[in-house]
Amino acid sequence: MVIVTGLGRCGTSILTKYLGDVGFGVGRNINWHDEARAGYELSTAYSINREMWNNYCKAGKPIDLDFDYRGPYWKCKYKEAILNVDKDEEKQGKVEVIKDPRFTWNPALIEAWWTVRQDLKLIICHRDIQSVMDSRKSLPPQYDDPKRVKLSEYKEDFADFYTKVLQLEIPYVTLFFPKFLQNFHDTWLVLEIIGLSHNYEKGKKIWDEMMDRTLLDGRT
């Protein structure tokens, strides 16, 4: 399973939308918000991360994977929810890719998932962190980030997350915004490397139809 993540406002949503449009399973329980150009987060996956963040990370406590998870769809242990997040096609739809920026909120989150799921691969979207913060500030209040409020916190979060990925040796690729949106060929090659192989011509057609000048210029 592939996880698309990053600090947010760095192309994670449009990339996940593209992957869904080109034929990869991104789940059924997702939303797209035109106003923010954001979304495509599988509700079950972000619910697991939100609950683990609220119950453990905020208090600086280690995550207990044997704790009872009481989110949507399943009533089970956290580790069972993580294990089955892509395995209930009847309720969830086909899930091959999930997107959630919450993985960057605390390194304990990606470590918890990796403890249960060593089949994971990461696509880490990145952007100049000041631009991430400026873009987030320009959004309507309902899209405000509930966790980070200072530039230093964004930087620390991303550094801690990336360090944990390297320590755990999780397979990953990095895509830099907006550069990766400006070069379909190179992005397609990166997706091939991470295991998301798909037809080049079909992908190029979908990609060109999706992109607009504000995205390509990095002005969003």
pLDDT of residue 34: 77
User: Predicted confidence band at 6 (pLDDT cuts at 50, 70, 90)?
Assistant: very high
Q: What is the mean pLDDT of residues 76-94?
A: 91
Give the model confidence (pLDDT) of 115-126 as tens digits.
999 999 999 999
Q: What is the mean pLDDT of residues 101-110?
A: 96
* Domain covering 2-42+97-216, topology: Rossmann fold (3.40.50)
Running DSSP on this structure, what letter comes out for residue 143?
A: G
Find out whether 136 and 38 touch, Cβ atoms under 8 Å. no
Residue 29, pLDDT > 80, answer yes
| Tokens 């453990």, located at residue | 56
**110/46 Cα distance (integer angstroms):** 12
Identify which has the larger pLDDT, 14 or 220.
14
Region of poorest pLDDT, from 80-89, 121-130, 198-207: 80-89
**216/219 Cα distance (integer angstroms):** 8
Residue 73, pLDDT > 80, answer no
Residue 23's beta-bridge partner residues?
A: none
C-alpha dihedral, 173 to 120 to 7 to 21, nearest 10°: 80
Identify which has the larger pLDDT, 148 or 51.
51
Q: Where are the domains of the chain?
A: 2-42+97-216
**Mean pLDDT value across the chain:** 91
**88/94 Cα distance (integer angstroms):** 8
Give the model confidence (pLDDT) of 201-212 as tens digits.
999 999 999 887
- CB neighbours (10 Å) of residue 139? 18
pLDDT of residue 213: 63
Give the model confidence (pLDDT) of 157-176 as tens digits.
999 999 999 999 999 999 99
